[in-house]
Amino acid sequence: MGHYIEVDQNVNVYVEDVGEGTPILFLHGWPVSHKMFEYQQIELPKHGYRFLGMDLRGYGKSDAPWNGYDYDTMAADVDKVVRELDLQDVVLVGFSMGGPIAIRYLANFKENRVQKLVLLGAAAPLFTQRDEYPHGLEQSGVDDIIANLKSDRPGMLKDFGGMFFHQDMPDAFSDWFLNLGLTASPHATIHSAVALRDEDGRVDLASVHVPTLILHGKHDEICPFEFTSFMEEGIPEATVVPFENSGHGLVFEEKEKVNHEILQFLKR
């Protein structure tokens, strides 16, 4: 089952909806779609959970307006989805860019319906380096990504995919993963890269008042594992689980462990 939810005037986002039970709402990373969570989609409903995969605006099957790729707007889109589908006691899962968007949602919408939070390789609290935050890419590095997106988006995304994984991935898988990124709107891909470069979510962490599971690859070259120390310190009820054999793509590289950790967290 799929839903199209109007989140703004003439802007609809797509939500995949599979199974019944406690709703688990997944927010994907840059620049893919809900399809990156297929190994969770085929597993969670077997255990009595409802999988919901939201395509953020500009990605997958969702509309791609020119504006609205900042975290505040994306968080407001999440709120529209939760309320339109009347989701209760939601478990919110954010991967990479979806992580800080999930956190911003909890910060901006105090009357949310979230009972637990899962952060997967999250680009939080900051994706790029700042004073007193020496981790992640330099802001100029994201400028280079944006320039390459404007000149050769397929080549840039192929190179990005090469950084994504610690393990060697099969060619067929790499082709599939590249295609996920190529289905995104080109302007959404660029504008979201600007958000990743410029957004600062450090003040948002203290607004997370639900149990939080942080799963992160030890070999992550996109969102370094050092990010987890800031998330763990800033989120009151946070637990970090390192993935020793993964880079940024832990949901693929150690998918069985990801699913096991999420299911154990759901049962607590």
Question: Strand pairing of 11-18 and 2-8?
Answer: antiparallel
- Whole-model pTM? 0.98
The question of whether 246 is a catalytic residue gets the answer: no
The question of whether 33 is a catalytic residue gets the answer: no
CATH of the domain at 39: 3.40.50.1820
Token pair for 106: 């909890």
Residue that is written with structure tokens 């889109």 in the block: 77
Active-site choice (28, 33, 77, 96): 96
Helices (H) and strands (E) in the chain, counts: 9, 8
Residue 117 to residue 266: CA distance in whole angstroms: 10
**pLDDT on residue 35:** 98
Closest among 28, 54, 2, 6 to 251, alpha carbons compared: 28
pLDDT band at 228 (very low <50, low <70, confident <90, very high): very high
pLDDT tens digit sequence for 183-214: 999 999 999 999 999 999 999 999 999 999 99
**pLDDT on residue 153:** 97
pLDDT band at 151 (very low <50, low <70, confident <90, very high): very high
Residue 157 to residue 161: CA distance in whole angstroms: 6
Average pLDDT over residues 214-237: 98
Burial 1-25 (b: 16+ CB within 10 A, else e): eeeebebbeebbbbbbbbbeebbbb
For residues 205 and 230, the answer to whether their CB atoms sit within 8 Å is yes
pLDDT band at 229 (very low <50, low <70, confident <90, very high): very high
Residue 90 to residue 23: CA distance in whole angstroms: 5
Residue 22 to residue 104: CA distance in whole angstroms: 22
pLDDT band at 25 (very low <50, low <70, confident <90, very high): very high
The question of whether 220 is a catalytic residue gets the answer: yes
pLDDT tens digit sequence for 38-48: 999 999 999 99
**pLDDT on residue 88:** 97
Q: Kindly report the average pLDDT of the chain as a whole number.
A: 97
pLDDT tens digit sequence for 93-133: 999 999 999 999 999 999 999 999 999 999 999 999 998 89
Average pLDDT over residues 134-152: 95
Closest among 132, 114, 113 to 202, alpha carbons compared: 132
DSSP 242: E
Average pLDDT over residues 154-179: 95
Average pLDDT over residues 9-26: 98
Active-site choice (28, 166, 191, 248): 248
**pLDDT on residue 205:** 98
**pLDDT on residue 95:** 98
Number of domains in the chain: 1
- What is the span of the domain harbouring residue 43? 2-267
For residues 119 and 214, the answer to whether their CB atoms sit within 8 Å is yes
Going 61 to 67 to 69 to 75, the CA torsion angle's sign is: negative
**pLDDT on residue 148:** 95
Active-site choice (63, 77, 204, 220): 220
In 3-state terms, what secondary structure has residue 131?
Answer: coil
Cβ atoms < 10 Å from Cβ of 185: 20
Average pLDDT over residues 241-254: 98
Closest among 84, 99, 81, 94 to 40, alpha carbons compared: 94
**pLDDT on residue 71:** 98
